[in-house]
């Protein structure tokens, strides 16, 4: 349908410098990648300085902070480990996210070469490149992402909606009902005030 | 504690004794109720003046109706979640002050004077708007729910958290005022974009996380709002002040807060928030992406673990909330026996599109144990599934989009617990 453009004459034209400052995203086809380069050896040093306090020296993650490496071939396991190596479909996302939003608490402070080097170190930590591989806007697509083919577009309209539609059962829907799991056995709900049931019910 | 409070506490105690004597139906009181027969201080002395509170908070006795955090869920409280106290609320409008928060780099402070919104990419003229500019476009008002994609996510593997606030409280429902995204895109002009059916918008926030998400153009031109008011007043800081995106029916992550840029593009960005996160892994290890809509869902908010039955047998109001991202709620059924038999509940109002619906089942409780469930239906004919049905299709690892039927075990003493049933 054609868009009927009723103009109000509000706002002003964005200047190229302004667009360049905010339009930073990198797309899967490499659009938005700046010119630059870095390797895992440089990356290791930067990572140790700016990333390892949360993500670990080998990108393996500390405490509850995200693990960036490991987990290969675990996606169909009971407890999959989803990392850049095991899960992320596009390398562009790693560059884009690190450049715009990392380090946590000091986002936007890395140079483009630093982001290339950190990205290279994350790839190296995932055994995806050799230590002498120089990642750059030129070599960006020489890296294979193991789970690139691991995603499908939302298919609920065919796999779920038809079978969960229509008049539901109202009477005699089950013969027997048994309790199979109880939250109080796990006991991981935060304590509220003493008078509240979460604490009282815990006997 | 002040003397005044102690005296009130004493009187409340006395009242409880009086009420205790009258537990059986409308039986006669044995002794006169001093709350009636004695002149109370509030019926004699003076209350607060109109200048005492310029912007009020709830009365202190409602101090438990607050957002709560679950520490073990996330690494820190900055990129984290808290929960709306839905167990204690009624109606459908969520008070902003206790409406849940989800941030990825904290709730930022952004003055209207410092606010800028850019529209760029495949538009005729890339534009910059100030906050004042946005207030000059024609406005719309709509009530919509915002549900985090991860709401109920901790319950995939079993019954974990004991309370509707924790299992279902990553949600709020507000009346938004704003400008349609369509109006802003048309102001920039979409002739340059050509065939719009294959176009996308990428939207990002002003915060460090940016929370960038790709939205297909047909949704962007349909009902998405660029909102600056919620429930009548400016957005709260933690909900995106001064401007946020409202994406009716779709997962909360896409409701970009502190929105600073909208780019018209010929494809999705596949940003971190739509690849690493907000993708749903199935049992075979393949993951769904772009699972935008939130399917029909409901929960009994009372009785529930944080809202036990304290009044004994007799009249009982079973109540809860239902919502769907695919249209309007048409019906909610309630079961007291874990799904063997169902009764159709009463909707407080006819369901509204992509907004919360309140339901009631006014019942007579005989004091026996119940396994309470609710089951929502929407105007597409979709019926809220059980957790077993969901698991059969998806397995246990999809993290997001858990819209299963919830079960509360209500014991004879009125206490309730989060359980799973066969």
Level-2 CATH architecture, domain B96-153+171-288: Alpha-Beta Complex (3.90)
User: Residue B91 to residues B301, B327, B332, B349: CA-CA distances in angstroms?
Assistant: 11, 19, 15, 10
What are the structural domain ranges in chain B? 1-19+27-47, 96-153+171-288, 297-419
Q: Which residues contact B237 (CB under 8 A, 6 or more apart)?
A: B107, B108, B109
A39-59 core/surface letters (b: 16 or more CB in 10 A; e: else): bbebbbebbeebbbebbbebb
From chain B, the residues in CB contact with A179 under 8 A are 371, 409, 419-422
Provide the pLDDT for residue A6: 61
Contact yes or no for B289 and A151 at CB 8 A: yes
pLDDT in tens, B338-384: 999 999 999 999 999 999 999 999 999 999 999 999 999 999 999 99
Provide the pLDDT for residue A188: 85
pLDDT in tens, A90-120: 999 999 999 999 999 999 999 999 999 999 9
Contact yes or no for A183 and B105 at CB 8 A: no
* Spatial distance between the Cα atoms of B109 and B226, rounded to a whole number of angstroms: 18
Provide the pLDDT for residue B81: 95
Using N-to-C axis directions, what is the helix angle for A91-101 and A112-125, rounded to 10°?
130
Closest CA to B164 of B88, B266, B52, B255: B88
More confident residue, B145 or A185: B145
Q: Which residues contact A81 (CB under 8 A, 6 or more apart)?
A: A67, A70, A71, A74
pLDDT in tens, B65-90: 999 999 888 888 999 999 999 999 99
pLDDT in tens, B267-287: 999 999 999 999 999 999 999
Contact yes or no for B422 and A64 at CB 8 A: no
Contact yes or no for B269 and A27 at CB 8 A: yes
Q: Is B166 helix (H, G, I), strand (E, B) or coil?
A: helix
Query: Of B68, B291, B397, which is closest to A154 when you measure between CB atoms?
Result: B291
Contact yes or no for A10 and B133 at CB 8 A: yes
* Spatial distance between the Cα atoms of B290 and B215, rounded to a whole number of angstroms: 9
Q: B7 pLDDT exceeds 80?
A: no
Provide the pLDDT for residue A15: 98
Q: Which residues numbered 160-189 in A keep a CB inside 8 Å of some CB on B?
A: 160-161, 164-166, 168-184, 186, 188-189
- A43 CA: distance to closest CA in chain B (Å): 21
Provide the pLDDT for residue A192: 67
Q: Which residues contact B138 (CB under 8 A, 6 or more apart)?
A: B179, B183
* Spatial distance between the Cα atoms of A166 and A153, rounded to a whole number of angstroms: 25
B382's tokens: 């979709």
* Spatial distance between the Cα atoms of B179 and B234, rounded to a whole number of angstroms: 14
pLDDT in tens, B195-219: 999 999 999 999 999 999 999 999 9
pLDDT > 70: percent of chain B: 94
Q: Other C-beta atoms within 10 Å of B307: how many?
A: 23
Q: Give yes or no for a contact between A203 and A197, defined as CB atoms under 8 angstroms apart.
A: no
* Spatial distance between the Cα atoms of A56 and A202, rounded to a whole number of angstroms: 37
CATH of B297-419, one of 3.30.70.360, 3.40.50.720, 2.60.40.650, 3.40.640.10: 2.60.40.650
Contact yes or no for A151 and B287 at CB 8 A: yes
Q: Which residues contact A98 (CB under 8 A, 6 or more apart)?
A: A110, A115, A118, A119
B331's tokens: 């019906």
> Please, which residues bridge with residue B360 across strands?
B319, B346
Query: Taking CA atoms, what residue in B is nearest to A165?
Result: B382
Provide the pLDDT for residue B29: 86
More confident residue, A194 or A78: A78
Range A150-178 average pLDDT: 97
Provide the pLDDT for residue B321: 99
Q: How many CB pairs (< 8 A) connect A and B?
A: 277
Confidence of residue A4 (pLDDT cuts 50, 70, 90): low
Model ipTM value: 0.92
* Spatial distance between the Cα atoms of B248 and B286, rounded to a whole number of angstroms: 27
pLDDT > 70: percent of chain A: 91
- B335 CA: distance to closest CA in chain A (Å): 9
Q: Mean pLDDT in chain B?
A: 94
* Spatial distance between the Cα atoms of B403 and B296, rounded to a whole number of angstroms: 7
Closest CA to B294 of B255, B346, B345, B249: B249
Q: Which residues contact A194 (CB under 8 A, 6 or more apart)?
A: A200
pLDDT in tens, A5-49: 569 999 999 999 999 999 999 999 999 999 999 999 999 999 999
Query: Taking CA atoms, what residue in B is nearest to A89?
Result: B275
Provide the pLDDT for residue A193: 52
User: Residue A117 to residues A36, A111, B190, B282: CA-CA distances in angstroms?
Assistant: 10, 10, 38, 33
Q: How many CA atoms lie within 13 A of B381 on its CB side?
A: 9
* Spatial distance between the Cα atoms of A121 and A135, rounded to a whole number of angstroms: 10
Contact yes or no for A89 and B417 at CB 8 A: no
């Amino acid at each position: 349908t054609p868009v009927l453009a009723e103009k109000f004459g509000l706002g002003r034209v964005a200047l190229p410098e302004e667009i360049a400052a905010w339009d930073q995203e990198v797309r899967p086809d490499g659009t938005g990648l700046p010119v630059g380069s870095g390797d895992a050896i440089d990356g290791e040093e930067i990572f140790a300085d700016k990333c390892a306090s949360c993500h670990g020296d080998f990108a393996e993650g500390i405490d509850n902070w995200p693990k960036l490496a490991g987990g290969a071939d675990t996606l169909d396991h009971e407890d999959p480990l989803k990392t850049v190596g095991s899960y992320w479909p596009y390398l562009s996302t790693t560059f884009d996210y690190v450049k715009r939003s990392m380090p946590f608490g000091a986002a936007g402070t890395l140079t483009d070469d630093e982001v290339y080097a950190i990205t290279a170190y994350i790839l190296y930590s995932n055994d995806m490149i050799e230590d002498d591989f120089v990642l750059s806007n030129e070599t960006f697509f020489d890296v294979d992402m193991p789970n690139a083919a691991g995603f499908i577009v939302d298919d609920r309209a065919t796999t779920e909606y038809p079978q969960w539609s229509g008049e539901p059962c109202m009477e005699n829907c089950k013969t027997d009902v048994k309790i199979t799991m109880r939250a109080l056995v796990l006991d991981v709900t935060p304590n509220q005030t003493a008078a509240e049931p979460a604490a009282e019910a815990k006997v | 504690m002040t003397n005044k409070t102690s005296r009130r506490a004493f009187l409340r105690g006395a009242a409880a004794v009086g009420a205790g004597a009258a537990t059986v139906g409308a039986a006669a009181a044995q002794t006169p109720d001093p709350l009636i027969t004695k002149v109370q201080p509030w019926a004699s002395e003076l209350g607060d003046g109109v200048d005492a509170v310029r912007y009020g908070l709830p009365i202190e006795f409602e101090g438990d109706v607050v957002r709560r955090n679950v520490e073990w869920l996330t690494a820190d409280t900055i990129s984290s979640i808290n929960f709306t106290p839905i167990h204690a609320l009624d109606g459908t409008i969520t008070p902003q002050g206790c409406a849940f928060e989800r941030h990825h780099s904290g709730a930022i402070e952004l003055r209207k004077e410092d606010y800028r919104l850019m529209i760029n990419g495949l538009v005729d003229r890339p534009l910059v708007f100030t906050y004042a500019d946005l207030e000059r476009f024609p406005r719309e008002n709509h009530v919509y729910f915002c549900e985090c994609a991860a709401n109920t996510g901790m319950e995939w593997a079993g019954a974990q958290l004991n309370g509707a606030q924790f299992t279902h409280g990553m949600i709020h429902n507000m009346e938004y005022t704003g400008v349609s995204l369509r109006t802003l895109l048309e102001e920039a002009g979409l002739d340059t974009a050509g065939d719009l059916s294959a176009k996308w918008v990428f939207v990002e926030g002003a915060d460090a996380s940016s929370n960038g998400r790709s939205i297909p153009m047909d949704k962007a031109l349909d009902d998405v709002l660029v909102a600056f008011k919620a429930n009548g007043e400016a957005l709260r800081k933690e909900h995106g002040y001064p401007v946020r995106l409202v994406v009716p029916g779709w997962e909360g992550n896409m409701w970009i807060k502190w929105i600073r840029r909208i780019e018209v593009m010929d494809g999705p960005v596949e940003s971190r928030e739509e690849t690493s996160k907000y993708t749903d892994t199935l049992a075979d290890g393949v993951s769904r992406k772009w699972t935008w809509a939130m399917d029909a869902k409901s929960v009994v908010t009372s009785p529930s673990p944080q809202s036990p039955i304290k009044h004994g047998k007799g009249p009982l109001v079973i109540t809860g909330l239902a919502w769907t991202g695919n249209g309007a709620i048409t019906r909610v059924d309630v079961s007291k026996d874990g799904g063997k038999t169902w009764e159709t509940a009463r909707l407080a109002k006819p369901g509204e599109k992509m907004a919360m619906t309140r339901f009631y089942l006014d019942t007579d409780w005989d004091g026996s144990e119940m396994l309470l469930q609710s089951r929502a239906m929407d105007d597409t004919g979709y019926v809220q599934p059980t957790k077993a049905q969901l698991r059969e299709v998806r397995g246990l690892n999809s993290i997001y989009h858990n819209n299963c039927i919830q079960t509360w075990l209500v014991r004879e003493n009125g206490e309730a617990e989060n359980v799973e049933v066969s």
